[in-house]
Amino acid sequence: IQVKKSRKVKGVRQKLKLFRASDPLKSVIMWGINYSMDQLDHVNKRTMLLPDDFKSNLKVKVDNHLFNKDSMPSKFKFKEYCPLVFADLRSKFGIERTEYLDSFIKRQPQYDASQGRSGSKFLCTYNRHYVIKTIGSEEVEQMHHILQAYHGYIVECSASTLLPQYLGMYRATVEDTEYYLLVTRCVFSPRLKIHRKYDLKGSTIDREASEKERSKELPTYKDVDFINTKERISIGESQKHRLLLTLRADVDFLQRNNLMDYSLLIGIHDLQIGGGFEDDPEAEDDAGLGSGNEGAAVSPPSAAAAAAAALQPVPEDSGDDERVFGGDGASPESPSAMGEGGGESGGGGLEPGRSFRYSAFLGNLDPVFERYGVQSSSRQLVYFLGIIDILTSYGVRKRTAQTYKSMKHGYNNENQLSTVRPEVYARRFLEFIDACIE
């Protein structure tokens, strides 16, 4: 009798991508961005966007989700607004698909301690390249309202701008709570620590950091503080001319679209103090969740050595900073962006072949992830400048606020209020920033 041997086969569960995070919202963000990018891969690329693209959306509803329940809820929704438009904007800003996706899904984003207007929260990707801001429905509506004009302006100026670089807008519904999310590029460097920070509007009424703000490790100072400390942005005449040229074009765009209440965010890195982010984002912790202090940068091996190299004088019109204020969106894969060959020349972007692992700063700014940066004429400081909070229109609410503040502070001080007509706001803003730069 022939006996047939039976063989036991052990079932192996199919490997699925894990989106481990410390709370459900982060996991849904990671899952949703991965899903939306995957769906975009199946859409034929067009050379020109259509009007309907500015009204479109991509959404998904997940019910009875059984996988990875420790981190992800069993029911959630995710929606991306105008996916083709934001994909085109990312391309215009020189952001590669893989780099953008990896920034969100490789490791969980981290909450920033600071809060924005109306209690909005900020999350930063582990490599410090992108910021996710929670926004309200009014800002979503305003973003839809200006998106077509904003896209046209970015195309027109070849992405050479100090405006926020809007890269994606999403809605995540978790545990019956809706979160509207807006993704922008970080203004500050992912490798250099900021030692002083200012938020300037050109107004001097109620524009001073509070005692609570001053007690923070890195407080955000305001216009009155900037004046009282006699701070100056010293970048030389040539760079000042280029900066103001870009700034005037950006402010003109904001004024034409009836927008006001924006600020110029300034971060200052002092090379004499030095310092960078010491964590290595390539290293995974045991739990795969991250410690909350993850960085994308490596501090210089010697702050003094880096400062000495960076302080070498260069001719003011050497052309090194032509691309400082936005540039043409250099690809992250380009040699200049990756820092290839930068060892002897003092280059210093990403180390060759090592995504998100930065080399020491030796004098040159990275053309992609430090595109908001400009060095001082003395080469002792590095400034990072960008316009923020541009989604406030001069409507009924702001007119009412202007009337109330005028009565409170007196009509003689009306033009110094933070809430004024867009044309007044734009003129005062440019005059103040002009006076701050030398």
Provide the pLDDT for residue 365: 87
Provide the pLDDT for residue 310: 42
| Portion of the chain with pLDDT greater than 90, in percent | 51
pLDDT range class, residue 301, cuts 50, 70, 90: very low
Q: Which of 279, 284, 310 is nearest to 297 (CA)?
A: 279
pLDDT range class, residue 158, cuts 50, 70, 90: very high
Is residue 86 scored above 70 in pLDDT? yes
Is residue 101 scored above 90 in pLDDT? yes
Question: What domains, with CATH codes, occur in the chain?
Answer: 17-186 (3.30.800.10), 188-276+367-437 (3.30.810.10)
Q: Which of 257, 258, 255, 267 is nearest to 429 (CA)?
A: 255
The pTM assigned to this predicted structure is: 0.78
- Which one from 53, 223, 225, 261 is the annotated catalytic residue? 261
Per residue in 25-82, pLDDT tens?
A: 999 999 999 999 999 998 888 889 999 999 999 999 988 666 556 667 888 999 999 9
Active site residue 261: yes
CB atoms within 10 A of CB 106: 16
Task: Give the mean model confidence (pLDDT) for residues 291-295.
Answer: 35
- Which one from 133, 193, 398, 405 is the annotated catalytic residue? 133
Provide the pLDDT for residue 338: 29
Active site residue 197: no
Task: Give the mean model confidence (pLDDT) for residues 248-259.
Answer: 96
Per residue in 3-22, pLDDT tens?
A: 555 566 555 554 555 677 77
Provide the pLDDT for residue 299: 37
Provide the pLDDT for residue 255: 95
Task: Give the mean model confidence (pLDDT) for residues 352-365.
Answer: 63
Provide the pLDDT for residue 303: 43
Is residue 87 scored above 70 in pLDDT? yes
Higher pLDDT, 294 or 135: 135
Per residue in 196-228, pLDDT tens?
A: 999 999 888 888 999 999 999 999 999 999 999
Poorest-confidence range of 170-184, 302-316, 374-388, 394-408? 302-316
Angstrom CA distances, 355 to 42, 272, 294, 359, 372, stand at 26, 28, 15, 11, 20
Provide the pLDDT for residue 339: 33
Per residue in 409-434, pLDDT tens?
A: 454 455 555 567 899 999 999 999 99
